Amino acid sequence: MSVRVRFAPSPTGQVHIGNIRAAIFNWLYARHTGGAFLLRIEDTDRERSTPEAIRTLLDVMEWLGMTSDEPPVYQSACTERHLEVAEAMVAAGTAYREDRDGKGECIVCRMPESGRLEFTDAVKGRIRKQAEDLQDFVIVRSDGTPVFHLANVVDDHDMRITHVIRGDDHVENTFKHLQIFRAMGAEPPIYAHLPMIVNHMGKPYSKRDGAAFVGDFQAQGFLPEALFNFLALLGWAPGDDREIMTRGEMVEAFDLDRCKSSAARFDLKKLTWMNGEYLRRLPRETLDAAFRERLAAGGLDPASVTDEVWNAILDLMIPRTKIFGEVPGNCAYFFTDDFAFDPRAVEKRLRPEGTRERLLKVAETFESLPAFTLESTEAALRALGESMATGIGSLVHPVRVAVSGMTEGPGLFEMLVLLGRERVCARLRQAVRMAG
């Protein structure tokens, strides 16, 4: 049997990470088995499934490197076929007509009245339900439009889908879908229901917990390779301790029997760490261009510094950057004197008693140095700290905030030398006024 899987979203705007996670698992399984990965756009909601929403979906899939092996199927083009199956079910007695909403006759699928219904899920194992717990359900509305359950099953049959890999919010639907397959006299696909993605509280992950749409992560500067890798590990593991994996390594290791049935927790810190690992593996010219683009978008001019300084800034900032969205905020002070100060840093490092006098003394000391180098600036601060009997620690933190507005960043003395003596001393004196 040649594997055929599908990703069947209902595009209504942004693409949720839970939906694209399902697409990733389908894509990996198709590539692992040498099968086909198909796209079915369930666009029967004509008000919400706009051309713009469909374009957003296709752009996201292209960004993540998942293209369909066959032309996309648009569910709205298959309505006649859906209704044909419904009429055949009525004729066979596996469905009947009934006025359920007072607006006209619907077509209703007939469920078994007794016994136990069950199926084997490729992830969750054997799932059972008593027939009396399941009610007959509408498959064609009174206005003549097919319901999701009917359209989903007919399309899966006609597309020759062998495995349906989707979220476990569809487990209950599967009993209905299997009944339609029986009514059609067709062999159903193998079902595999993926665990829910949850937040740190164990609740379904949503936009209330932070970025929840692929477009959000793209805008923040996450890399598609990192997001793909991270989402692939939400509910699946390769069987060893690997976390950073190439696309080829994931394809080779992926199988449904390694998917987990328990909920998968979305850990933004892990994703950010993973993105930093991918970012640092990019070619230097790619990183250079990305930094320039982000700085320009933030109203900063990379050309305001010499090539030598620019490359030194990159050397300092690349190891400290986990997502491109951190640029220009984490290095704006290299390119402008009009940079933002962290209010908490000001309060903690510049307001304490005695800081004003220390900063003035540092400025005077730096101005008197014969040369402004890594060695001379560090030696000067150490000597000054000893003379004040406070140690270098009482000077390092206020100086960093004074010249960068931040409590964290690259090595202080590397930063000072790149900024230059004149700019550093001017900022120290400006910070004195802020501390006063």
Quick one: pLDDT band at residue 210, thresholds 50, 70, 90? confident
User: 158 near 186, Cβ under 8 Å?
Assistant: no
Exposure class string for 385-417: b at 16+ Cβ within 10 A, else e: beeeeeebebbbbbbbbbbbbbeebbebbbbbb
How would residue 238 be classed by pLDDT, with cut points 50, 70 and 90?
Answer: very high
Burial pattern 243-260, b for ≥16 Cβ within 10 A else e, equals eebeeeebbebbebeebe
- Residue 338, number of CB atoms within 10 A of its CB: 9
**Separation CA 401–CA 341 (nearest Å):** 8
pLDDT value of position 435: 73
The share of the chain scoring above pLDDT 90, in percent, equals: 89
Residue 436 has pLDDT above 70, yes or no: no
Predicted confidence (pLDDT) at residue 247 exceeds the cutoff of 70: yes
- Per the listing, tokens 């996309």 go with 72
Mean of all residue pLDDT scores within the chain: 95
Which residues are marked as active site? 207
Q: What is the pLDDT of residue 12?
A: 84
Question: What's the number of CA atoms in the CB half-sphere (13 Å) around residue 112?
Answer: 14
Closest to 143 in 3D by CA, of 179, 99, 109, 177: 99
CA separation for the pair 42, 5 (Å, rounded): 15
Lowest-confidence pick of 217-221, 292-296, 386-390: 386-390
At residue 121, the pLDDT reads: 97
Residues 6+ apart with CB under 8 A from 77: none
> Facing residues of 236 across strands?
259
Give pLDDT, residue 102.
83
345-402 pLDDT, tens digit per residue, is 999 999 998 899 999 999 999 999 999 999 999 999 999 999 988 889 899 999 999 9
Q: What is the mean pLDDT of residues 296-312?
A: 96
Average pLDDT over residues 4-26: 95
Stated length of the chain: 436
3-state secondary structure 382-432: HHHHHHCCCCCHHHHHHHHHHHHCCCCCCCHHHHHHHHCHHHHHHHHHHHH
Burial of 135 (0-12, 13-18, 19+ CB in 10 A): exposed
Mean pLDDT confidence for 194-217: 91
Does the pLDDT at position 100 exceed 90?
no
313 contacts 327 by C-beta, under 8 angstroms: no
Three-state secondary structure readout of 328-361: CCCCHHHCCCCCCCCHHHHHHHHCCCCHHHHHHH
Q: Which two tokens stand for residue 252?
A: 């080779």
Proportion of the chain above pLDDT 70, given as a percent: 100
What is the pLDDT, as a whole number, of residue 252?
97
Q: Positive or negative, the Cα torsion across 268, 274, 277, 282?
A: negative
CA 391 – CA 262 distance, rounded (Å)? 52
How high is the pLDDT of residue 101?
79
pLDDT band at 45 (very low <50, low <70, confident <90, very high): confident
115 — pLDDT class (breaks 50, 70, 90): confident
- Give 418's pLDDT tier (boundaries 50, 70, 90): very high
Q: Indicate the range of 86-90, 172-176, 288-292, 353-357 predicted with least confidence.
A: 353-357
* CA proximity to 206, closest of 264, 260, 263, 266: 266
What is the distance between the alpha carbons of residues 59 and 64, in angstroms, rounded to a whole number?
9
CA dist 211 and 32 (Å) reads 30
What's the pLDDT score for residue 209? 86
Global confidence as pTM:
0.92
Kindly report the backbone phi and psi dihedral angles of residue 41, in degrees, each rounded to the nearest multiple of 5, phi listed first.
-95, 110
Q: Rounded to an integer, what is the distance from CA 80 to the centroid of its chain? A: 37
Residue 50 has pLDDT above 90, yes or no: no
pLDDT at residue 176, as a whole number = 97
Residue pair 100/106 in contact by the 8 Å Cβ criterion: yes
pLDDT at residue 46 is higher than 80: no
Q: Is the pLDDT of residue 184 over 80?
A: yes
Query: pLDDT for 306-315, tens place per residue?
Result: 999 999 999 9
> What pLDDT was estimated at residue 114?
87
